[in-house]
Amino acid sequence: MTVIKLFIQKSRRNHWRVLLGAAMVAGIFFFFVQRGQAAELFFNSSGGAQEKAQREAYFNPYEKETGVKVVYTAPCKFAKLKLMVESGNVEWDITELPTRDKERALEYGYLEPLDWDFIDPNNEIPKNVRHKYAFPGSSYSTILGYRTTKYSKENHPRNWKEFWDVKKFPGGRSLRNDPVDNLEMALLADGVPKEKLYPMDIDRAFNSLDKIKPHITVWWSVGAQPAQLLASGEVEFVSAWDGRITAIKKEKSPVEIEWSEGILKISWYGIPKGAKNKESAMKMLKMMARGDRQAIYAKIIGYGGHSKRMLEYLDPTLSSTLSSSPENVKIQVMEDTSGWWLKNVDKVTERWHAWMLK
């Protein structure tokens, strides 16, 4: 009988130890939740080669430093951001924002303010690209990519007018299924000087697009797609984001970039209004502001960041291949900064969808 009582007493003591341990774990968890430290960070971006580069340059060291797992989603869609914020059910903690979407998000109040003193305590990011609500991730361009099995550096389309010239440069072509960039490219192909693109003549742009439309083999919608089409030989020419072509060049695909009349942009990142893990998101942006991490990102995908220190970590030969290099900037077109797209995006997008159905 005594043995049984001792066993029961010991079992009760062990039971209370288990309960006490569980309570301590719960308390620690509650403390971190209260402090804004989440177990996961939901990061929304463009996917493909970009995810691979972001994971090596930013996500892996972030996870090691914070213990927070990065959950990646793609692609980035303004319509989904709008739905999340307006419904109050925000899934993303950070989302990539092309300039057009950044401006729309600002207009509707869809972004949280950023704490730049925390994100960039060493002032690596120049003030002219700091924004109260948006982080300048990297520069990139929509460029003309081509296969080198049939065309060479001496013989290939050197601008959008020649991309439109299917007799001189025969072969399958691919453009993005979106009016952004296509309208600019159509006007450049029709002879509009790059310094006179905005405000855009919409009718003239669509008349120019009518000429190339029958020759478009594939209308791409995801960033990795034009690179895949080019690498496989399904098409000879594409419009693409330069880093996607750089990535497959490193894999020895027979492809090349034409920088002339590339449309130079900034890829912005924002924290959606009502994001559940704002503190973790700020820590991620702090990681992304570091010049040494931006250099790793540029080495992998060819997109240069904006840290003043990034070039310290890059070989000069690599720096010259970035869209933001002085040599390439000179021959490209800067994306719209006049607000034209913000004012006209709905009208143009509606017309684009109707035009695609013709």
Contacts of 217 (CB under 8 A, 6+ apart): 172, 173, 174, 229, 234, 235
217 and 235 Cβ atoms separated by less than 8 Å: yes
Structural contact between residues 142 and 152, judged by C-beta atoms closer than 8 angstroms: no
Range(s) of the chain covered by CATH 3.40.190.10: 34-138+267-324, 140-266+331-357
CATH class of 34-138+267-324: alpha beta
Q: Give the tens place of pLDDT for each residue, 41-93.
A: 999 998 888 899 999 999 999 999 999 999 999 999 999 999 999 999 999 99
| Band of pLDDT at residue 18, cut at 50, 70 and 90 | very low
Pick the residue with more confidence: 318 or 25?
Answer: 318
- CA–CA distance from 210 to each of 32, 49, 164, 194, 349 (Å)? 57, 32, 11, 20, 16
Q: How many CB atoms lie within 10 A of CB 168?
A: 9
CB 333 within 8 A of CB 261: yes
Of the CATH numbers 3.40.190.10, 3.40.920.10, 3.30.70.270, 3.40.30.10, which one belongs to the domain with range 140-266+331-357? Answer: 3.40.190.10
Band of residue 17 on the pLDDT scale cut at 50, 70, 90: low
Please state, for a pLDDT cut of 90, what percent of the chain lies above it: 75
pLDDT grade for 1, boundaries at 50, 70 and 90: very low
Beta bridge partners of 28: none
CA-based end-to-end distance of the chain: 91
Check residue 14 and give its pLDDT.
54
Give me the pLDDT at residue 27, please: 45
pTM: 0.73
Tokens in use for 175? 């453009």
